[in-house]
Amino acid sequence: MKTVGLVVEYNPFHNGHLYHLTKSKEQTKADVVIAVMSGSFLQRGEPALVSKWQRTNMALAGGVDILVELPYYYSVQKAQTFAEGAIRILNTLSVDTVCFGSESGDITSFYELHEFMTTHKEEWDNEVKKEMSKGLSYPKAASNAFTTLTNESKPLLSLAEPNNILGFHYVEALHKWSKTMRAETILRTKAQYHDEEIQDTQIASATSIRKALFEHESFDQIRTVLPQTSYEQLLTYGKEFHVFHDWEAYFPLLQYQVLSSSVAKLEQIYECEEGLEYRLKETIKRASSFKEWMHLLKTKRYTWSRLQRLATHVLTQTTKTEMSQLLKDGPLPYIRLLGMSQKGQAYLSSIKKDLDTPLISRLAEAKGFAATHDERISNVYKMALPPEIRAQSLYDEYKQIPIRGH
């Protein structure tokens, strides 16, 4: 069976995702669609709108055959590490082709850029260092360095576009981790990643959908831009758990954590560098919301996402030592299966005997620190649920089994 791999967050799964999924399957002539999805916390350092189980239901209804989790230690990371984790998992599951959406739409440009970057590694590194010494954030410095390096040749690819950057790192990770997997890309249409308002009646960005839910509390506004199952799953989650997860729901916990931690303890948190622990302490006292705090915290030196990821690591108390233990080389500790269709199940049976990594169905099957940390992350995510529901939900996580699609 021919397989296509997708790297997704589905926050939530909308018509744009459905389009990408369908196109990817067509273009690669795949029989089986395998998606690796960020779990509770996402690449930009935010909690997922609804739990991974609701998002798994959405994905299965949309045509994904196998859903596995991108664990926290890869999902809440800069693009390069995020991409590495996703590619490692897809490669472990013997995926033939990874297919990502991009602003470019031309896979050749990604391979060429990777080639160019490999051969110009030293100049590139120097250029980035020079730009960063001006006080710029890494992405901004990288983008400037890229412009300088390529301005005499034709610009191979715009690295100012978020999906192009991710795509570049997928190709880079392929070279590092896989001998056989290939990359393809689909041109992203219409809704841009950062669109804040719903512009179209069919396709809208996930950002604008979340905004419609939080700010306008409008289910009507999002009905037309979501597949039926996504719409229903959102409705169900809201009714059952009385919450959609955003940073504001966690702000009291975060504020409490920063205020009650010693400076020495904050300094041990992953991504807490260059004295940021003092800045965290000083600014959090003055904020009465997450948004307000981020505005107090932000400097030119760090991107919004970088600071949100730091906030996530503070919230989950993930330390530098823990992260290096989780990211250490060697085989992945396990892959957690979230859902599968009948076809997906057949595929997994066929590759099972060659798998060098445990594929687990329940958290209780997992062992070691990765499992302990995994449970911690789920537990912290559930702190946004109302207290009377929380205890039951904390318990359920342990016995939750993968969702079966058709």
Which C-beta is closer to a second copy: that of 327 or that of 346? 327
Say whether residue 265 binds a second copy (CB under 8 A).
yes
Which of these ranges, 52-60, 130-138, 298-306, 387-395, lies near a second copy under the rule CB under 8 A? Answer: 387-395
Count CB-CB contacts under 10 A for residue 125.
Answer: 11
**Least Å from the CB of residue 315 to a second copy:** 7
**Residue labelled with tokens 């992405």:** 139
Among 320, 357, 394, 400, binds a second copy (CB under 8 A): 394
Subset of residues 360 to 379 that bind a second copy, contact rule: CB under 8 A? 372, 376, 379
Which of these ranges, 54-62, 88-96, 198-206, 383-391, lies near a second copy under the rule CB under 8 A? Answer: 383-391
The interface mask with a second copy, positions 204-243, x = CB under 8 A, is: ----------------------------------------
Cis peptide bond N-terminal to 12, omega within 30? yes
Say whether residue 22 binds a second copy (CB under 8 A).
no
Question: Which residue(s) pair with 34 in the sheet?
Answer: 5, 66
At position 392, the amino acid (one-letter code) is Q
At position 165, the amino acid (one-letter code) is I
Say whether residue 252 binds a second copy (CB under 8 A).
yes
262: CB partners within 8 A, 6+ apart? none
**Least Å from the CB of residue 247 to a second copy:** 13
Asked if 298 and 304 count as a contact pair (C-beta separation under 8 A), the reply is: yes
Count CB-CB contacts under 10 A for residue 223.
Answer: 11
Burial class (CB in 10 A: 0-12, 13-18, 19+), 130: middle
Name the token pair of 404.
Answer: 């079966």
Report which DSSP code applies to 384.
T
At position 33, the amino acid (one-letter code) is V
Asked if 339 and 60 count as a contact pair (C-beta separation under 8 A), the reply is: yes
Which C-beta is closer to a second copy: that of 48 or that of 254? 254
Size of the site for a second copy (CB under 8 A): 31
Name the token pair of 369.
Answer: 């620190």
**Least Å from the CB of residue 317 to a second copy:** 5
Cα angle: 4, vertex 75, 120; to 5 degrees: 80
Tell me how far the alpha carbon of residue 156 is from its chain's centroid. 26
Which C-beta is closer to a second copy: that of 148 or that of 400? 400
Asked if 36 and 90 count as a contact pair (C-beta separation under 8 A), the reply is: yes
**Least Å from the CB of residue 367 to a second copy:** 15
Say whether residue 190 binds a second copy (CB under 8 A).
no
Tell me how far the alpha carbon of residue 78 is from its chain's centroid. 10
Say whether residue 255 binds a second copy (CB under 8 A).
yes
Say whether residue 316 binds a second copy (CB under 8 A).
yes
Say whether residue 296 binds a second copy (CB under 8 A).
no
Can you give the C-alpha Rg of the chain in angstroms?
Answer: 21
**Least Å from the CB of residue 253 to a second copy:** 5
Among 259, 355, 364, 401, binds a second copy (CB under 8 A): 259
Binding positions for ATP are 7-20, 101, 163, 188
- Interface ranges with a second copy (CB under 8 A): 251-253, 255-257, 259-262, 265, 285-289, 315-317, 322, 372, 376, 379-380, 383, 387-388, 390-391, 394-395
